[in-house]
Amino acid sequence: MSTRTPNEAAPAAATPLSLCSREPHVPADRLVAEMVPPPRFDSVRFDTYLPDPNQPSQCEAVKVLSGFAEGLGGAHATGAGRRRWFARKPAAPAGPRGVYLDGGYGVGKTHLLASLWHATPADPALKAFGTFVELTNLVGALGFQKTVQTLSGHRLLCIDEFELDDPGDTVLVSSLLGKLVEAGVALAATSNTLPGKLGEGRFAAADFLREIQGLSAHFRPLRIDGEDYRHRGLPEAPAPRSDQVVTETAYRVPGASLDDFPHLLEHLARVHPSRYGALTDDLSAVCLTDVGPVPDQSTALRLVVLADRLYDREIPVLASGLPFDKLFSDEMLNGGYKKKYFRAISRLTALARDAKGLVAQ
C-alpha cells in the first residue's frame, strides 16, 4: 500500500499543481524500463491474494499460475542478438505458450498477473509487464523490429487489460506475439474478453478472424469468476464534494493537482496516452471540479487510460459534480467498450473512497 500521508497540512497554502499544464515527453528507454508491475502491485504475491471462498475458480487460478511460474525456471535464450551464431533455432512450442486470465472487473486478475511476474524465477530485466495500450505504444516508439529484438530475450511478457480496439492493433499484436513465441517468450494476459471474442462489437471482427484465432492459439484460457472485490462488503462510494471543498483541499494538500474536468478532457486529447503515466508524476492527489458526462467515445477511452494510470499509482481522486457512475452514457455502457468503462468506474470509485481522508474534518 502507499506510504503517502497527503492529509498532513502544508506549512502554508501553496498553489496546487495542474494536469492541464503538463505535456510530458517520455523517451523510449523509459517506456522499456517502466515495463514492471506498477506501484499498487509492486508488493503483491500469490499468498496475498484473497480468493473468494464461494468462487473455486479463484483458488484454481492461483494453483495453475504458480505451476506456470515454476515451469519458467528452465534454460532460455540469453537475449536477442546474444545467441550463438550456430545455435539451432528453437522449435516452436507444440501447445499454447501462455495463459489468459478471463473474468469480470475487480476479481483480482491484475493482482494474479503481477504475482506471476514476481514469482517467475528470472532476472527482472528478463521479465516485462505492461498494459495492452503500453505495449502498442512501445511499438510506436521503438518500431516493430526493435520491439521484437528488445523483448525476444525475455523469459516472460505479461500483458494487462488485453483488448483489441481496431484492426490495426489486431494485426500488429498478432504479428508481435507470434514473433515472441517463436523466440521462446512465455506470455500471460488479462482481459474481460475470451481470446476468441477479442474485437467483438468494436469492428468487423469476422474480417480479421484469422488474426484473432492466431492470437487465441498462443493462450490457455483460465476463467476467474467472482464479484468486484473493490466493492465487496464496502460502503457505497462517497458522494461528490462541493467545488469549495475540492478547491480548499487542493490548496491544503501538498502535491495535489486541481483541474476543471471539462478542460482536463480537452487536454488529454493533446497528450498521447503513452504519456499519461508521466502526466501523474509526483502527484499525491487529483482534485477535479465540475465532473460531468463524457461527451464522446474518443474522449471516454482517453479517460479510461488516465483512470488506469491513477489507479496503478494509488493516487486518490477528490471530485465535485456528478458521481463517477454517471460519467458514461447508457449507449457507451451497452456498447463494444462497455467493459473498459465499467472498469474505469470501478477504479475511480475506489480512488474516490481513498480520497475521503483528504477532506478536513
Map the chain to HEC letters. CCCCCCCCCCCCCCCCECHHHCCCCCCHHHHHHCCCCCHHHCCCCHHHCCCCCCCHHHHHHHHHHHHHHHHHHCCCCCCCCCCCCCCCCCCCCCCCCEEEEECCCCCCHHHHHHHHHHHCCCCHHHEEEEEHHHHHHHHHHHCHHHHHHHHHCCCEEEEECCCCCCHHHHHHHHHHHHHHHHCCCEEEEEECCCHHHCCCCCCCHHHHHHHHHHHHCCCEEEECCCCCHHHCCCCCCCCCECHHHHHHHHHHCCCEEEEEHHHHHHHHCCCCHHHHHHHCCCCCEEEEEEECCCCCHHHHHHHHHHHHHHHHCCCCEEEEECCHHHCCCHHHHCCCCHHHHHHHHHHHHHHHHHHHHHCCC
Give the highest mean pLDDT range of 62-76, 84-98, 183-197. 62-76
Rounded CA-CA distance 169/52 in Å is 35
d(CA 270, CA 272): 7
pLDDT at residue number 6: 47
Cα separation, 148 vs 154, whole angstroms: 10
The pLDDT tens digits for 81-123 are 333 323 344 444 445 678 888 887 678 899 999 999 999 998 9
Read off the pLDDT of residues 172-184 as tens digits, 9 standing for 90 and up: 888 899 899 999 9
Q: Which domains does the chain have, with CATH numbers?
A: 19-26+235-358 (3.40.50), 53-226 (3.40.50.300)
Over 50: is that where the pLDDT of 280 sits?
yes
Q: What angle do CA 153, 158, 161 make, to 5 degrees?
A: 145
Q: Tell me which residue has cell 539451432.
A: 88
Please report, as a single letter, which amino acid is at residue 153: G
| Mean pLDDT of the residues in the chain | 82
Per-residue model confidence as pLDDT tens digits over 17-48: 999 999 998 888 888 888 999 888 999 999 99
**Most confident option among 3-12, 24-33, 76-85:** 24-33
Quick one: pLDDT at residue 295? 96
Amino acid letter at 353? R
Residue type for position 292: G
- Do residues 155 and 126 lie in contact, with contact meaning Cβ atoms separated by under 8 Å? yes
Considering 76-85, 215-224, 263-272, the range whose residues carry the highest mean pLDDT is: 263-272
Confidence band for 76, pLDDT divided at 50, 70 and 90: very low
pLDDT at position 164: 63
